[in-house]
Amino acid sequence: MKNVLVTGGAGFIGSNFIRYLLRTETNIRILNFDALTYAGNRENLADLEGDPRYRFIQGNICDAAQVDSVIREYQVDTIVHFAAESHVDRSILGPRQFIETNVMGTFTLLDAARNYWLKENVLPLDSVRFHHVSTDEVFGSLKPGEPAWTEETPYAPNSPYAASKAASDHLVRSYGHTYGLPYTITNCSNNYGPYQFPEKLIPLIILNAMDGKPLPVYGDGQQVRDWLHVEDHCEAIHLVLTKGKIGSTYNIGGENQPANLSIVETICDILDEIDSNPAHKPHRRLIQFVKDRPGHDRRYDMDTRKIRAELGWSPRHTLDQGLLDTVRWYLSHPEWVASIRQKHEYEGWLDANYKLR
């Protein structure tokens, strides 16, 4: 890796990955290519703007001309593709954007890489890599007692978001099989940690609880997820990029499966302990059960034996410590939180998704 194009690098996982890569690699140039939609925030990496190894480029992955130009101008040898519409609730309210970004955007990147790396043969084939970041949601939903998903589990997506990611995974594999494009794919579980846009469960609960607002819990709150700290995810991706087998897929998970209600209650208990504002304690009294979302998957569970065995990866963060660190991060970054809340679109989405329930 010398010239790395990170798509969606101003988002939650992408910005954390860029920080991780700059800490880990020295002889590298990172191009952060992001459209700065509602969840993209250039301020996530504002302190890196003076680093000569880092450059921000505002652009849309569906813009073939711009993608082609950037890849050629900077002689990109590695693409790490995070850019995606990624929230199930939003995909239910408006699926079109998910198809355009997640499917057509991935196609645009793949074709640009194929043209530059394979057709024009500018760089040695063994020096290039297309890494696609996907999700566990492509596998569908597990029943109680069913074994965890492996890399060989058939896809069975249940939401427009999951279907769009499944389609993009298939596109990546097809470019590897048909054209010989060097690729790897990772399917990760639910991420959490610093800089996560508060439409997702953990930051939403933290920020609402800090303000004494209702803490919305879908249905009975017994949906089970695997929670992966974003720093563990970044380490796993780096290992796949540097040591993973071309044409391989790796599952990445936090190796825990609590119910969503348990996550919410744990955050409430943490805030009871460390939040200096006593007005909203005990925070559990703010929990409010709301109508479940359509087609809500019941349980996810990732089998991570492959990445453990081949690359020696395992999560470093326990869920309890990771949640504590995450709550502390949001409490200690009020300016970042304020900048998110000033976005009119964010408050409008909260109203559309929760108040009507």
pTM as predicted: 0.95
Q: How confident is the model at residue 342 (pLDDT cuts 50, 70, 90)?
A: confident
| Complete domains list, the chain, with CATH | 3-189+227-255+299-314 (3.40.50.720), 193-224+258-292+318-345 (3.90.25.10)
Read off the pLDDT of residues 237-281 as tens digits, 9 standing for 90 and up: 999 999 999 999 999 999 999 999 999 999 999 999 998 778 889
- From 81-95, 97-111, 216-230, the region with the lowest mean pLDDT: 81-95
Which helix (H) or strand (E) is 211 found in, with range? Answer: helix 201-211
Read off the pLDDT of residues 55-103 as tens digits, 9 standing for 90 and up: 999 999 999 999 999 999 999 999 999 999 888 888 888 899 999 999 9
**Residue 301 known to be catalytic:** no
Q: Say what the pLDDT of residue 143 is.
A: 93
What share of the chain in percent tops pLDDT 70? 98
CA distances to 13, 143, 171, 218, 226 from 206, in Å? 18, 29, 37, 16, 19
Cα–Cα dist 132/126, whole Å: 17
Q: How confident is the model at residue 353 (pLDDT cuts 50, 70, 90)?
A: confident
Q: Say what the pLDDT of residue 61 is.
A: 98
Catalytic residue among 137, 169, 226, 235: 137
Region 152-166 average pLDDT: 96
Q: Say what the pLDDT of residue 279 is.
A: 87
**Residue 136 known to be catalytic:** yes
Which helix (H) or strand (E) is 209 found in, with range? Answer: helix 201-211
Catalytic residue among 85, 136, 235, 297: 136
Q: Say what the pLDDT of residue 330 is.
A: 96
- Which residue matches tokens 């101003």? 10
Q: How confident is the model at residue 178 (pLDDT cuts 50, 70, 90)?
A: very high
**Residue 161 known to be catalytic:** yes
* Sequence-ordered alpha helix ranges (H) in 283-356: 305-311, 319-331, 334-341, 344-350
Bridge partners (DSSP) of residue 135 are 188
Highest mean pLDDT among 209-213, 314-318, 346-350: 314-318
Catalytic residue among 34, 54, 77, 161: 161
- Closest to 57 (Cα-Cα) out of 25, 85, 18, 96: 18
- Rounded to 10 deg, the angle between the 260-274 and 201-211 helix axes is 40
CB 226 within 8 A of CB 300: yes
pLDDT over 70 at 356, yes or no: no
Q: How confident is the model at residue 341 (pLDDT cuts 50, 70, 90)?
A: confident
Read off the pLDDT of residues 122-142 as tens digits, 9 standing for 90 and up: 999 999 999 999 999 999 999
- Closest to 165 (Cα-Cα) out of 195, 132, 196, 191: 132
pLDDT over 90 at 339, yes or no: no
Amino acid at 293: R
First and final C-alpha spacing in the chain = 47
